[in-house]
Structure 1
Amino acid sequence: MRAVLHLTLGLFLLLASLGTASAHALEPGYLDLRQLTPESWQVFWRKPDVNGAPMAIDAALPETCTPATGGEAKSDGYAWITAWVANCPDGIGGGEVRIPGLQLQRTDVLLRLQPLDMQATTVRLTPNAPAYAVPETLSGGAVFLSYLGLGFEHILEGWDHLLFVFALLVLIRDPWRLVGAITAFTLAHSITLALAALGHISVPGPPVEACIALSIVFLAVEILKHEDGAARLSERAPWIVSFSFGLLHGLGFAGALIEIGLPQGDIPIALLAFNVGVELGQLAFVAGVMACFVLLRAAWPGLVRAFRKAHSTGISVLGYSIGGVATFWLAERIAGF
């Protein structure tokens, strides 16, 4: 039993240490190249803010373009902006667009190419691939994969969303009810994600983030109030709870997507890809938790037996740990108003 307590308290300390960090670490740069004439391109370059200064990255067009890089960036209060018109007499097809310094960062850059006579396309540059070789013929086929990857990474970097899903796994004992709860959560956040990203609803970010933390506190309380033989509403019909709170979490996802931006002309496919990426990340997390339990049971059967013998105590420790982290986030976010 002591091992269970140590393991759970270790989880609490790990999550609490992450509490001071943003729940959504995804703050990509954005480079938009819009062709004005056969030889000129309008360049819009937005790089993230790091402690009041621009991130140490830059945007470089093919060497045949003049100028290939922009001037001094100016802050808009959220990020650092540079805009210029580049003359590219040979075009940019066959050239390379680079983000110097990206290989040293922990973020991505979305590159949007909008030629005059071809379909626009969006690609994702990463620290492992900070350059893009522009093909002679551009297409929009990369949009889906780019936003799919962004959605997948966002859910895995959103500790509050993952803790909510983990709390559902702890609270709901019946497999089919668990499937129903996760399905309802998926449906709900898909609705608000689409509505908010398309501008049909607008809710300030800080209250949404505080309510997301409050939703985890609620699940922790439900875990602690569980009694064998007397299932609460959250256990009998968990899809009601997960759907309701899923609407809030969808607004949180939308906040990150709005910061990234949706490519004009490819909004439906980008929105679908981002949402699919979120779902794949969520499923990967659930599968990872289940795999960890299987491996733990195989490698340390004594711990599992001890947990089963003191099931109610172990669940209580998990409930208090989840609730403690969520309460810390709630207080931090309310203080940030």
Structure 2
Amino acid sequence: MTVKRIFLALIALTWLIPNSAFAHALEPGYLEIRLVGADSYRVFWRKPDVQSAPMEIFAVLPAHCETREGPAPTSDGQAWVSAWVTNCAGGLSGGQILIRGLEAQNTDVLVRFPGPDGTVYTQRLTPLEPSFEVPVDPSSFDVIRSYLPLGVDHILEGLDHLLFVFALLLLISDRWRLVGAITAFTVAHSITMAAATLGWVALPGPPVEAVIALSIMFLASELRHKGGQDMRLSERYPWTVSFSFGLLHGFGFAGALRDIGLPQTDIPLALLSFNLGVEIGQLIFVAAVLVTATILRRLVPWAVAWVRPGTPLWILSVYAIGGVSAYWFIDRVSGF
């Protein structure tokens, strides 16, 4: 595997990245149910904004709850929220929670709910599975089934993380050095994600997100000067560079996981499942890039000479990566 092979995929991707980077992705819905007394629950429901109107999805609690649906939502500037208190005789166990209308949308909903012992659990609902039955005794399989897909979704929807990995694919020509760099990145972000999620280390989210964008700008700079007489820093020490930046990316993953929350009795399993999901998503992305590059190389072999380091197309593509990451950096710094 060489840079020439994988770089052909950049031709297609650089046309897509700017549009995706500047647009705000549709946020998922969020339903939180908290136990506030004997069979009494406080419900918080947040659904996405679609062209200044609430998305046509509705949270419906189990049939034995007194108030199954909440009041009309109000805008908080980014989404539409509503809250209410209801009584559910005997608790939630065995009842069905439904997001009505979700089957017609292109988003998902994260549900946090208390188990029989008060432990908080998480369930992800999708257009294909818009409802679920609250288990009487949630199992380890339920935790894995909820958190592993969340990890996959998070990495595949995180354009900044994917762009960093993509830049590594372009920068490192040697197969085994590339494998080592990806491995170092994985180990590093796994360490900081676990440490930050468990509360051992804490860093504010906005600066971390800004530095993640800065890490992509650094790799873009390395790509711009690739092909000279001297190897770049990231080419000489790819594992060190990947590990260092991987520590920062791990804090970004931890921020997302903290927003989701962890089940109090299965924290290690949930953390491991989410991390495995991130790695699966990362492998899916790498495989997709390599397969795309191989196909393009066979279809347009004459284009290989156009995408060597230093050629106009290479420089244009590198500036596209740097421009997108610079926009992210400025946008995130201005949001402090």
With normalisation by structure 1, the TM-score equals 0.84
Give deviations 1:118-148, integer Å, cap 9, x for gaps: 9765322112211113456543431112111
- Return 5+ residue gaps in structure 2 as ranges: 1-6
Q: Alignment RMSD, CA only?
A: 3.1
User: Is the partner of 1:59 in helix, strand or coil?
Assistant: strand
For the residue of structure 2 that corresponds to 1:168, the secondary structure is: helix
| TM alignment of 1:1-337, pairs within 5 A | 11-22=13-24, 27-32=28-33, 34=35, 37=38, 40-48=39-47, 50=49, 55-71=55-71, 80-88=81-89, 92-116=92-116, 121-135=121-135, 138-304=138-304, 306-307=305-306, 310-313=308-311, 314-337=313-336
Q: Percent identity?
A: 49
Alignment: residue pair count:
327
CA distance change for structure 1 residues 248 and 115 in 2, over 3 Å: closer, same or farther?
closer
**What is the deviation of 1:181?**
0.9
Which SS does the other structure have where 2:201 is aligned?
coil
- The Cα shift of 1:159 comes to 0.7
SS at match of 1:85: strand
Against the structure 1 CA distance between its residues 139 and 74, is the aligned structure 2 distance closer, same or farther, given a 3 Å change threshold?
farther
Question: What amino acid is the match of 2:41?
Answer: Q
In structure 2, distance between residues paired with 1:26 and 1:269: 26
Residues 191, 53 of structure 1: alpha-carbon distance in 2 compared, 3 angstrom cutoff: farther
The answer (yes or no) to whether the contact 1:162–1:285 under 8 Å persists in 2 is yes
Q: Deviations over 1:35-57 (max 9, x none)?
A: 954xx252433414538876543
The letter of the residue matching 2:310 is: S
C-alpha distance 199-64 of structure 1, shift in aligned 2 (>3 A): same
In structure 1, C-alpha distance between the alignment counterparts of 2:281 and 2:324, rounded to whole Å? 22
Deviation, 1:259, is 1.9
CA distance in 1, matches of 2:8, 2:188: 36
> Is the deviation greater in 271-280 or in 52-61?
52-61
Q: Is the 8 A contact 2:216 2:322 kept in 1?
A: yes
Alpha-carbon spacing, 1:131–1:223, altered in 2? closer, same or farther (3 Å): same
- Pick closer, same or farther for the CA change 1:10–1:183 going to 2, 3 Å: closer
Alignment check: 8 A CA contact 1:186 1:246 kept: yes
**Deviations, residues 5-51 of structure 1 (Å, cap 9, x unaligned):** 998566434211122234x76544133364954xx252433414538
Distance 1:161 1:172 in 2: 17
Between 171-180 and 312-321, the greater mean CA deviation after superposition: 312-321
Q: CA deviation at 1:154?
A: 0.8
The answer to whether the 8 Å contact 1:118/1:138 transfers is no
8 Å CA contact retained: 1:35, 1:114:
no
Contact 1:8 1:321 in 2 (8 A): no
Deviation of residue 290 (structure 1)? Answer: 0.4
The C-alpha deviation readout for 1:236-283, integer Å capped at 9, x for no partner, is 111111111112211211222222222222222111111111111111
Does the 8 A contact of 2:226 with 2:309 survive in 1? no
Counterpart CA distance in 1 for 2:56 and 2:263 is 25
1:36-87 CA-partner distances (Å, limit 9, x unpaired): 54xx252433414538876543321222321222345577887635242323
**Could you tell me whether the CA contact under 8 Å between 1:122 and 1:140 is conserved in 2?**
no
CA distance in 1, matches of 2:9, 2:167: 16
